[in-house]
Amino acid sequence: MTAVQFLQNFLNGISIGSVYAIFALGYTLVFSILGIINFAHGAVFTLGAYLTYSLAVGQFGIGGLFADLQLPFHFSFPFALLTGSILSGFAGVLVERCAFRPLRKRGADPLLALVSSLGVALVTVNVLQYLVGSEIYSFPSDVYGDIRPAFVLHFGEKLVVIRTVQIIIFSVCMVVLALLGYLIGWTRIGKALRAVAENAATASLLGINVDRFILYTFFLSGFLGGLAGSLVGTSFGIAGPYFGVSYGLKGLAVIVMGGLGSIPGAVLGGMVIGLAEAFVPSEYSAYKEAVAFAFLFAALLIRPQGLLGRSHIQKV
């Protein structure tokens, strides 16, 4: 591999890796507080992509209940992205209310939360299919305004092509990561969230309203999921209501890689898996989908606590 090729793969990798990172953070936030994996996260990802599409473009296809509908308004892309992600955040809150809270109040087996969240995911995805059909939706290239679609760097004979979308994705993710880091590390809300994650019973004794912070966590998780979905959707198009399933599963590989419940771990895991996929040689590109899962297995074998996770000693 030449240096130029390396640079191209590297740039592709950190762009998609940054999306994996913010998506996986949505899993991590919920896991660090509840110790449960929210299997509806992939569905929120899909929902976010469709919401942003609806707000930014608003032209529906030929299938589903919304067939041939054209929304009377449309927002500029940044505003649509923000609104779509915030609405996904509320969808996250709804997931908590429908799938997690009733079970928590009954003290049910955590395995059941897995099934109920899968149930919510199934409902979400199929309602989407009912509304918008199962065709491919893609964002028009002028959706970001009047900017060039790609930048080409010349290295003698060789070219490195960076799509503008990739730059947008990477910058948005970095800004969100910085804001999230600030929120969790340096604000009262963040302090309370960390306290709940450390020990919910103690936090509630200290006067923290645990249920409210669980809701905040699901809002953040949904926001990140919807944002990731929107960014992937604008880059590669929305390949039907089931397109979130594979990202949802890949996200699991990312959090295991990084260490379950570790926030820096999720970011690092996302980058590692994004880069690893980008460096798959083109003749094996059909196997790219399996790379993340191979990493998951390797993590289970070699370092089950993940790259940055703490290994726990079980106390009796």
CA atoms within a 13 Å half-sphere pointing along the CA-CB vector of 117: 27
Q: Which is nearer to another protein, 169 or 270 (CB)?
A: 270
Q: CB of residue 125 vs another protein: minimum separation in angstroms?
A: 8
Q: How far is the CB of 147 from another protein (least distance, A)?
A: 36
Tokens of 279: 């460096």
Select from 109, 111, 113, 91 the least CA-distant residue to 224: 91
Rounded CA separation 181/145 (Å): 30
Compare residues 15 and 116 and give the one whose CB is closer to another protein.
116
Q: Are 259 and 299 in contact (CB under 8 A)?
A: no
Q: Please say which residue, 126 or 187, places its beta carbon nearer to another protein.
A: 126
Q: How many beta carbons lie within 10 A of that of residue 122, not counting itself? A: 13
Q: Find the shortest distance in angstroms from Cβ 259 to another protein.
A: 12
Between 103 and 169, CB nearer to another protein: 103
How far, in Å, CA of 252 to CA of 292, rounded? 9
What distance in Å separates the CA atoms of residue 236 and residue 225, rounded to the nearest whole number? Answer: 16
Structure tokens at 194: 């960390």
Minimum CB separation of residue 100 from another protein in Å reads 10
Residue placing its CB nearer to another protein in the complex, 174 or 245: 245
Residues in contact with another protein by CB under 8 A are: 37, 98-99, 102-103, 106, 108-109, 111-116, 118-124, 126-127, 129-130, 245-246, 249, 252-253, 256, 260, 286-287, 289-290, 293-294, 296-297, 300-301, 304, 314, 316
What stretch of H or E contains 160?
Answer: strand 158-163
